[in-house]
Amino acid sequence: ARGIFKGLVQPGRGTQDTRRTALFEELIPPGHALTEVEIVLRKLADARLITTEDRDDLPGEDRTATLAHERLLEAWPWLRRLVEENREVIAQANQIAEDAQRWESNGRDESYLYSGARLAVAQEGLENGQLALGGLPLEFVNAASQRQQAERMARRQRNQRTLAGLSAAVVIFALLAGISIIFWRQAQANAHVAAEQAGAAAALLKLSQERG
């Protein structure tokens, strides 16, 4: 019930809190089924605390729930305290739901997914249990997390390929350097031999001239 009511409130920012219409699927907390939420919603509707669009021809994900009246936000101390204690989390969940709907309306284009700090905050909220998402909003965050993991893996593979390329380049450079040293030493040796031969030839020539 707490999760359901948090999903049916739009906290004001400098303005009065208002009621919010939510899809049934948005009100399903992780680890629970739609049938469980429907039972609680039915009891709340029977108590005239909420109203539902609950026709048999609508699938669960298309049905909606709304607070019966905005006066409940002020007149019911329990609900008022619930909103005050969870104002930031409720606002965050509502924003994710709006962004998820925008993502869905645009064919689940990846450019609408969260990244960076926004994704990190959503992931942290889910991990510590403060943020309870269901249905499309949860799919939205999971899709963003999966894309982030895919990007990290692709980046790691690129880094590995770059490192492998650098390693190969170092090996090739070392081989070329070694070959260059060998040729240089050979050239030095050849030059030394040539110098000795030239010296010997000059000595022979001089000796021949002296005798002649």
Confidence tier at 41 by pLDDT (50, 70, 90)? very high
Would you say residue 87 has pLDDT above 60?
Answer: yes
Structural tokens at position 87: 């104002």
Would you say residue 7 has pLDDT above 80?
Answer: yes
Q: Give DSSP secondary structure letters for the chain.
A: -HHHHHTTEE--SSS--EE--EEGGGG--TT--HHHHHHHHHHHHHTTSEEEE--TTS-GGG-EEEES-TTHHHH-HHHHHHHHHTHHHHHHHHHHHHHHHHHHHTTT-GGGS--HHHHHHHHHHHHTTS----HHHHHHHHHHHHHHHHHHHHHHHHHHHHHHHHHHHHHHHHHHHHHHHHHHHHHHHHHHHHHHHHHHHHHHHHHHHHH-
Identify the pLDDT of residue 157: 82
> Mean of the per-residue pLDDT values for the chain?
86
Identify the pLDDT of residue 57: 52
Confidence tier at 201 by pLDDT (50, 70, 90)? low
Identify the pLDDT of residue 56: 53
Confidence tier at 197 by pLDDT (50, 70, 90)? confident
Of all residues in the chain, the percent with pLDDT exceeding 90 is 49
Contact of 139 with 100, CB cutoff 8 Å: yes
Q: What average pLDDT does the segment 98-111 reach?
A: 95
pLDDT in tens, 137-170: 999 999 999 999 998 888 888 777 777 777 777 7
